[in-house]
Structure 1
């Protein structure tokens, strides 16, 4: 019973994993959006976003490894792979904000937050798929080993062919 329970924690179903991804990733993302806005007062926005993206990616990857995908601590490889998906998310948020700045001369804080969070949410859905199917896929396969059913082996003899040696009947179990 304990083994089944620990496997359930180690490999949550897709819906459960997505709910946790939204909770942890969304929480880190919302906090990050306010941190970017605050840092943008002292640094260029792109630099502030880069700094917050690095810190939030490390934190979110660790949370996802432990709680979302149930694999314990994240490995350096998982951090690196997660960083790759975060780099794409960073590019998406930057492009969204640059487009906003081209379309609106002086966007207000609410509009900036709406655009940033929308771009982050879109990138987040794509990141979930990458993290679940690639980065943390090994955790799921190790946590829930597959059991192969034994296939019966059938012996066949071509019609009209005489056996070369003594006749041996093999029955598959």
Structure 2
């Protein structure tokens, strides 16, 4: 809910900023702002940590935001290569589609890595100290 809502607001804001700066710069500004806001909202409400997001969580979220930025910029580059003068509606559809797909991927990263706790954490230790525990670690 939060990511999708912020994504729709972002899609309306990027073209407004793109009127005064290059599209890639406008996308970067909106990506940074929306990532900060979404990370806070996800920490407090979606994943119910009961507290503000930590700097570690913001940095991890920034990694997924960078990937999302690349996806949306690539989609727009392809659009402008295929159709040199697309209309605003076409740009919005392509941006929202790319942003939506990237958002699903970002949500999975947040769920599985950034805000995962206990048994939900998918991180595997660098080395197992007891080989008898290895099957249990891999199954977790």
TM, length-normalised to structure 2 = 0.82
> In the aligned structure 2, how far is the partner of 1:130 from the partner of 1:53?
16
The list of structure 1 runs, each at least 4 consecutive aligned residues, that deviate by more than 4 angstroms after superposition, is none
Paired residue secondary structure (1:137) = coil
Residue 70 of structure 2 corresponds to residue 91 of structure 1: yes
Shift of 1:105: 1.5
Residue 111 of structure 2 corresponds to residue 132 of structure 1: yes
Aligned residues: 118
Residue 27 of structure 2 corresponds to residue 49 of structure 1: yes
Residue 8 of structure 2 corresponds to residue 30 of structure 1: yes
TM, length-normalised to structure 1 = 0.67
Residue ranges of structure 1 left out of the alignment (5+ in a row): 1-22, 143-173
Which protein, 1 or 2, shows the higher relative CO under an 8 Å CA cutoff with sep ≥ 6? 1
Q: Of Structure 1 and Structure 2, which has the larger fraction of its residues in helix?
A: 2
Residue 43 of structure 2 corresponds to residue 65 of structure 1: yes
1:13-42, Cα deviation, whole Å (9 max, x unpaired)? xxxxxxxxxx10011111111110100000
> In the aligned structure 2, how far is the partner of 1:73 from the partner of 1:43?
32
Residue ranges of structure 2 left out of the alignment (5+ in a row): 120-140
Write the mapping of 1:1-173 to structure 2, written as runs, cut at 5 A.
Answer: 23-71=1-49, 72-138=51-117, 141=118
Shift of 1:81: 0.2
> In the aligned structure 2, how far is the partner of 1:54 from the partner of 1:119?
17
Shift of 1:78: 0.1
